[in-house]
Structure 1
Amino acid sequence: MAEFKKGDRVSWKSHGGTAEGEVEEKITEDTEAAGRTVRASRDDPQYKVRSEKSGGDAVHKPGALKKES
């Protein structure tokens, strides 16, 4: 499983295209983020990311994110 840290630049598929942004935090417990309930644990984390283009927040599983250089 990929590991990301705060500040990492990442990309992900979004509405038929690709979005880019920055990791804001690693989520390791159930919480409210990006306007929805996020189910996460230490063994199954998710990442809150901020879109460069829209400025909006999203939450993704590690497999949906690709680290950019």
Structure 2
Amino acid sequence: MAKKLRKGDRVSWRSHGSTAVGTVRRKLTRRTRAGGRTVDASPEEPQYEVESEKSGNTAVHKPESLRRKGRSS
């Protein structure tokens, strides 16, 4: 079963050998352009657009690559 992530959730992921932290911006459930590329998301296999706290850049990740962290203050 896919993780239940929502807009505003604080998450972490592995990026270039270290751990990045950011915020979920939106859940993608259809083929769309996000994070600088075309994403083949679907309702059965959603992906999440996240914004990095460090760089402010956005990226798209599958739910299994994201780990929920505590809410940002």
TM more than 0.5: yes
Interval containing the TM-score (normalised by the shorter chain): over 0.9
Q: Distance in 2 between matches of 1:42 and 1:53?
A: 30
Q: Could you say which residue in structure 2 is the equivalent of 1:68?
A: 69
Gaps of 5+ in 1: none
Rounded to whole Å, the distance in 1 between the matches of 2:48 and 2:35 is 11
Q: Which residue of 1 aligns with 2:49?
A: 48
SS in 2 for 1:13: strand
State the distance in 2 between where 1:7 and 1:57 align. 14
Q: Please name the residue that 1:8 is paired with.
A: 9
User: What is the RMSD of the two structures over their aligned residues, measured on CA atoms?
Assistant: 0.4
* TM value normalised by structure 1: 0.98
Secondary structure of the 1:6 match is coil
Q: Deviations over 1:4-62 (max 9, x none)?
A: 00000000000000000000000000000011000000000000000000100000000
State, as a whole percentage, how many aligned pairs show the same letter: 57
Q: How many residues align?
A: 69
Unaligned runs of 5+ in 2: none
